[in-house]
Amino acid sequence: MLVMKKLIIGLQGGSGFLGSFLANLLVKKGHSVRIATREENNSRKLWVLPNTKIGKVDMNRQEQIDRFFEGCDCVVNLVGILNERKDNGKGFDYVHVELTNRLIQACKTNGISHLLQVSSLGADPSSESFYQSSKGHAEKLLKSEQSPKLRTSIVQPSVIFGPNDKFTNRFAKLLSITRGVLPLACPKSRLQPVYVGDVAQAIMNIIENDSLAGQIYELGGPEVQSLKEIVEYIGEVSGINARIIPLNSLLSAIQAHTLEFFPGKPFSKDNLRALQKDSVCKRVDSLDTLGIRPTRMSEILPSYLGQKNIKGRYSEYRNLAGR
């Protein structure tokens, strides 16, 4: 009988949407987890997890990173941002490239043999999008460090959905605030939404199986849909009659330039650049290769966006709308 080795897994960015799901999955499987965070309160919901150490780590101080991840068998880099303060690429480069380099150094210092990077479909150093370009440069850096002593694995998910995501929930809120009328930039952009549970399972499978390490995996769900189709479905599940107003290239650009200056940047110029390319798997879907049946949106969304659930959040929507 094959006994699965219990591992010590370090998570950088483990308090976020995907990281929280992954941490729970790893602990459930019997592994120990170390979660590095900027503020310990960000990980409050994970405090109750057994075999889990949560620590405040200043990612600008290499010695703190080295010390926190000492003794780990593998480190997973989940750190990422969708927008930066200024539209110049510097914020993306710092988070996606510089912090990746510091994790590489921590792995070398501590003799950690496996670093897994959560990247993005469409990551490309030559991309016009600063987000995708920085993700591409980080991948290039990881590939250059690949060696018998340090295997670097990369997962490239399309847009991730699930409870507490910033994708389906944001559109559900917008549709509620606008009573279903929504001017939509890049409505024809094609996406392959992938369930957060499938992405977390894929990461765990790669970590647990040495033969799967050191490769790149594109992760997409079972359906390819346009952004317009996805938003319409979100409205349907939420019990809102979505009336989408498709914006052409010019109006999409105007919307991006306007919302760039709104609090929280609901839509930015770089978001627009990223949507110019479809987020769809080019190769055979890696989830099948990893033994995972891709989950459809229709299997998950009703559980957290259904009318019964969304009615209980109307007060939250009214606050967002300022009324």
**Tokens standing for residue 224:** 């390819």
Distance between CA atoms of residues 187 and 171, nearest Å: 13
C-alpha distance from residue 317 to each of 139, 167, 217, 313, 322 (Å)? 38, 15, 37, 7, 9
Distance between CA atoms of residues 174 and 164, nearest Å: 15
Q: What is the mean pLDDT of residues 229-243?
A: 96
pLDDT in tens, 45-59: 888 889 999 999 999
Tell me if 136 sits within 8 A of 127, measured CB to CB: yes
pLDDT at 48: 82
pLDDT of residue 80 exceeding 90 = yes
**Tokens standing for residue 318:** 């009214």
Q: What is the mean pLDDT of residues 117-130?
A: 97
pLDDT of residue 140 exceeding 80 = yes
Exposed/middle/buried for 62, CB within 10 Å: 0-12, 13-18, 19+?
Answer: middle
What CATH number belongs to 8-161+193-219? 3.40.50.720
Q: What is the mean pLDDT of residues 123-134?
A: 97
pLDDT of residue 312 exceeding 60 = no
Contacts of 142 by beta carbon, 8 Å cutoff, 6+ apart: 100, 104, 115, 117, 152, 154
pLDDT confidence band for 265 (50 / 70 / 90): confident
Alpha helix segments (H runs only) across the chain: 17-28, 62-69, 90-92, 99-110, 130-144, 168-177, 196-208, 227-238, 249-259, 269-274, 286-289, 297-305, 307-311, 314-321
